[in-house]
Structure 1
């Protein structure tokens, strides 16, 4: 069984995240969307809210499982039996950052492969960071967020 983890903060989930997941579904038997929790940081949205948003967005996808986790992502991969880690790439700088992380992860746990999926051009400018900034100043983020998630903002 091919099991993958798509890790991130998803604070909030964006249409770009959804696109990466939907394009990954045919590649794997099971995909965990892992909400990484950093106990030293407080998120914009609570972990519970992010979980609810993701469940609402993917409620009709039986291959998708939503879970929060703490600690090293590669250790979490091992705990759920994932041999693959999915990462979205929007820009060249994303690639450089993700490549370095993938190489470190490979050094730690060589059997976990990082799979990079390049975002569609229309989604390359969407990031949770930018969406949060728009939300802070009461801007309309509806064009960047899946409609199922809007109720949780």
Structure 2
């Protein structure tokens, strides 16, 4: 039996890049816990309820993905879940520098904590939630950037021209 991992983030909103990383993680782990950070410091565009709903809708056919919210230190959340491995997606060198620093900080808090870095496919490497939010905010078409499962929620709650 392989193990579970945690994929933390704000998922504001979940993107095709996120799904790409989740699919890759499922080749190494039996289960992925998508941990949606409440983190009001980042001032999310979408509510925690909508971010959870979008993440659940986007991953509902994966079978071995669980979506949960968390509002504490990632290391403490991981201990609560009994999971010592986190996955992080890397799109560019700038992501690596930031993620490496966070990874070291987390392992300084719990010596059993491991961070695994995964790259999305080249097709999804440019996608970020902030790019999606920017396009979306101005009424642009984001249907090629986000899972098709979340488009109804976006249309219903936020923008009428997606």
Alignment of 1:65-144 (within 5 A): 65-144=66-145
Q: Which runs of at least 4 in structure 1 moved beyond 3 Å after TM superposition?
A: 39-42
Larger mean Cα displacement after TM superposition, 54-63 or 38-47: 38-47
Partner of 2:159: none
Gaps of 5+ in 1: none
Gaps of 5+ in 2: 155-162
**Displacement after TM superposition at 1:41 (Å):** 4.4
Partner of 1:60: 61
Please tell me whether the aligned partners of residues 10 and 39 of structure 2 are also in contact (alpha carbons under 8 angstroms).
no
Q: Any idea what SS the aligned residue of 1:28 has?
A: coil
State the distance in 2 between where 1:87 and 1:45 align: 21
Partner of 2:34: 33
Partner of 1:19: 20
Partner of 1:10: 11
**Displacement after TM superposition at 1:26 (Å):** 2.2
**Displacement after TM superposition at 1:49 (Å):** 0.8
Query: TM-score scaled by structure 1?
Result: 0.96
Larger mean Cα displacement after TM superposition, 114-123 or 53-62: 53-62
Partner of 2:45: 44
Structure 1, residues 54-99: CA drift from partner, whole Å, max 9, x if none? 1111112221000000011111011101110000000000001000
Please tell me whether the aligned partners of residues 2 and 83 of structure 1 are also in contact (alpha carbons under 8 angstroms).
no
The CA RMSD measured in Å over matched residues stands at: 1.1
State the distance in 2 between where 1:87 and 1:41 align: 18
Q: Any idea what SS the aligned residue of 1:32 has?
A: strand
State the distance in 2 between where 1:100 and 1:53 align: 29
State the distance in 1 between where 2:105 and 2:41 align: 22
Query: TM-score scaled by structure 2?
Result: 0.90
